Structure 1
């Protein structure tokens, strides 16, 4: 975990296969922005944890709340959550359980998840974990635009397989107050206008976005991993979102 000082509290949560290290370049830019930012590694994505393959979405949500507790986050001093990609499942769970602790959620090429969703419903039951696919395969699922050969090598060498239980667990959401949390979408691989069009049309991946009560949309054109392709611009977008009071 890496922390920088000042306020407000900003919690950076990376997507699948990634740890806190994925935010290093963004943190370097946030360090000059009068923000206090903490990057965390979700349970199941610490390569040194011998029990990581059995971690669940509940474990991941609990870990986010543990970080909140360690930083003194409260209803009076709520945090800003920045969630990239597949971090949307545990973060949606956190928003459902404790919306009062979140001042704003910033989805980075991501968005809220609907109740009952399963990330990989067809994942074979006997498969303990899902390794990072080859970049030929991954590039068909998400844009690799802006990533140099050096970045791709680092991604491949540091990626940790995603635990099977995280990918199979249905998301149980019951608290509509999660939709009242102010939200910023940072749209990278798909333009914001298209995201909102898909949300309005009820597309399964974006439908929950249409239910948000306080939403602003920021376009940051690049691939699916802007923390590496445009770290300074992403840091600026996060700082701007965190300073909003609506």
Structure 2
């Protein structure tokens, strides 16, 4: 498949415990001209219009080599996303946000909505003003390690993950900084609701999401405010970048092609 020449740069951001490496399989299937991935150099190049420009980033606090990572905040993460966009000329980009990346990405949409041509939420969605991921986190806790898979599976679906996927997840996961989990998200700019949106529904179907929005479920309150949103079903577990990377790449490519 050939991407239009005006397809914006795609910025991929994974959720809790994950870095840029989590998108490796998706980047392979995107056939991406990798603008600035954290973990590897550009792939062999073909003609420019045969590729999409994509960059997978590691958020502040999730780089295991950063000695100050446990003090990193949501503001730090939002600033890093904004700085990455700036390195691409401040041109609007497509932001792909998985899971817990929704908090810093929601901040970026609030503070700089003009820099995002489309946001693609992967088994995730925008957070509301005042949202806190873990309000009961003990004050003395500096970080939250990846829990056991039994415990994690009670919170999010592990469907589709192989033993190798889980082994890689365990080996490469970085504990989540406590400030990211306990600080509230402060939002004030209604313009964030106008950013074109694609919701990739994996562990919860699009029909179920629509029902929850219609019922006024607080977790989906922001979705009710969006002016331009598409729903795409991709049935699998909470980590489709590993369980269905080719299909996720196609969804991202198609959504990005309509954002140029």
TM-score by length of 1: 0.95
Partner of 2:20: 20
Secondary structure of the residue aligned to 1:216 is strand
Shift of 1:8: 2.0
1:118–1:241 CA distance, 2 compared to 1 (3 A): same
Q: Secondary structure at the match of 2:87?
A: helix
Map of 2:74 onto structure 1:
57
Q: 2:102 aligns with which of 88, 95, 115?
A: 88
Alpha-carbon RMSD: 1.4
CA distance in 1, matches of 2:182, 2:131: 9
- 1:34 corresponds to 2:51: yes
Q: Hey, what's the Cα distance between the residues in 1 that align with 2:90 and 2:229?
A: 23
Taking the aligned partners of 1:72 and 1:245, their CA distance within structure 2 comes to: 17
Q: CA deviation at 1:17?
A: 0.2
* 1:245/1:44 CA distance change after superposition, 3 Å: closer
- Residues of 2 paired with 1:63 and 1:7: CA distance? 22
Counterpart contact for 2:107–2:185, Cα < 8 Å: yes
The answer on whether the counterparts of 1:147 and 1:228 sit within 8 Å (CA) in structure 2 is: yes
Q: What is the number of residues matched between the two proteins?
A: 239
Rounded Cα–Cα distance in structure 2 between residues aligned with 1:69 and 1:35: 18
Q: Runs of 5+ in structure 1 lacking a partner?
A: none
Whether 1:243 aligns to 2:260 is no
List runs of 5+ in structure 2 lacking aligned partners. Answer: 33-49
CA shift, 1:169, in A, is 0.7
Aligned to 2:146: 132
User: 2:8 matched to which residue of 1?
Assistant: 8
TM-score for both structures, normalised by structure 2:
0.90
